[in-house]
Amino acid sequence: CHLIHYLRLSHHLIVLNYLICTFDKLKSVSSEDINITDAVFDGVEVRVFEPPAKQDERLKRSVVYIHGGGWALASARTSLYNNLCRIMAESLNAVVVSVEYRLVPEVCFPEQFHDALRATKHFLQPDVLAKYSVDPSRIAISGDSAGGNLAAAVCQQLSKDEHLTIRPKLQALIYPVLQAFDFNTPSYQQNMNMPVLPRYVMINYWIDYFNGNYDLAHSLLINNHTALDVGQALSFRGRLNWTSLLPSSFKKNYKPVIQTTGKAEIIQEIPALLDVRAVPLLAENETLQLQPKTYILTCENDVLRDDGVMYAKRLENAGVEVTLDHFDDCFHGCMIFTIWPTDFSAGVQTRNSYIKWLDENL
């Protein structure tokens, strides 16, 4: 990935995703116990996993799942996500809808958000839920990494939609990426060179998502875009103060990186850096109060650890019931690595904990 990025071969994300999907993509083949079909929800492709109907069973639970990959990689159809959603459907006896949103560089923000929102709202229609025999009071929205970002943003938007009659009962976010305000939280500093997701790779994902210029990467890395003299960022600073939102065990001895003077033109060039549809952690308290019961999974060896921990604290402060499920010995992305040749104990451990919470609360 880094070599492709460095050499600027076509667009590095196109090349990388082509390799991933060519090697990995599955056809729409049903397993013995789960019926797997592809559909289109309001113009957005989805893959639906349906357990067989049981005698005397009325309606099933359901999970809308949004895959990760930096808004640019992977697919609902790759074996890793196909396997995860199939196991969820089997374990929960639930209908799982996996959203195949469009990717960078074909589209950039806010189109991924719009795709996820449209597909979810379509599924929440009473007639669609009836078609899939889904209980409208037992629906969760979930996602990992960039998919966790989209799930949180969609959940916030749904909570403010006065025309909706059905909303998710739960949200479950797996090591979500939730902010581009501060790239020097303790977890960003601690794990800046951690494999799978180093800090500079995450910053480049953000730049790609916003269709920005890679020349801004260093300024973002040192928080020039949210310096004290950048007026557009001032109103958001109190919503992302990790010195008050993180426990001491996460803060350790790290110090905040707050520039006195920065570059306001970065926000002018990329206003989405402060758009809550892209950075759900910056949402106002009035929106957070409307969120459903929440599960957030975080990993110690992950630059995004503190995004999830801070969101959990802000939701809790807003009166939302939150379960923060933290794993000291796990890493970003581990939950989908449960099949050969990337079958890690960390993947099984986190996946089982996540599914257990859904089973107990959905």
Tell me what pLDDT residue 7 has. 46
Written as tens digits, the pLDDT of the chain (362 aa) is: 455 455 444 445 444 444 445 545 444 445 668 999 999 999 999 999 999 988 777 899 999 999 999 999 999 999 889 999 999 999 999 999 999 999 999 999 999 999 999 999 999 999 999 999 999 999 999 999 999 999 999 999 999 999 999 999 999 999 999 999 999 999 999 999 998 899 999 999 999 999 999 999 999 999 999 999 999 999 999 999 999 999 999 999 999 999 999 999 999 999 999 999 999 999 999 999 999 999 999 999 999 999 999 999 999 999 999 999 999 999 998 898 777 666 778 888 999 999 999 999 99
**What is the predicted pLDDT for the residue at 195?**
86
Helices (H), 160-278: 186-190, 199-209, 217-221, 231-237, 242-245, 248-251, 264-269
pLDDT value, residue 26: 47
Tokens of 214: 């890679």
Residue 51, SS3? coil
Q: State the pairing for strand pair 94-100/44-50.
A: antiparallel
Q: Are 229 and 209 in contact (CB under 8 A)?
A: no
Q: What pLDDT sits at residue 311?
A: 98
Domain boundaries, the chain: 11-180+272-361
List, in order, residues 6 or more apart from 257 with CB less than 8 Å away.
Answer: 182, 184, 222, 223
The pLDDT value recorded for residue 56 is 74
- pLDDT at position 21 is 52
Helices (H), 228-275: 231-237, 242-245, 248-251, 264-269
* DSSP symbols for 27-49: -S---SS-EEEEEEETTEEEEEE
Q: Which pLDDT value is given to residue 340? A: 62
Q: List the structure tokens of 331.
A: 């890493």
Q: Specify the pTM.
A: 0.93
**How far apart are alpha carbons 243 and 255 in whole angstroms?**
9
CATH superfamily name and code, 11-180+272-361: Alpha/Beta hydrolase fold, catalytic domain (3.40.50.1820)
Active-site residues, by number, are: 145, 302, 332
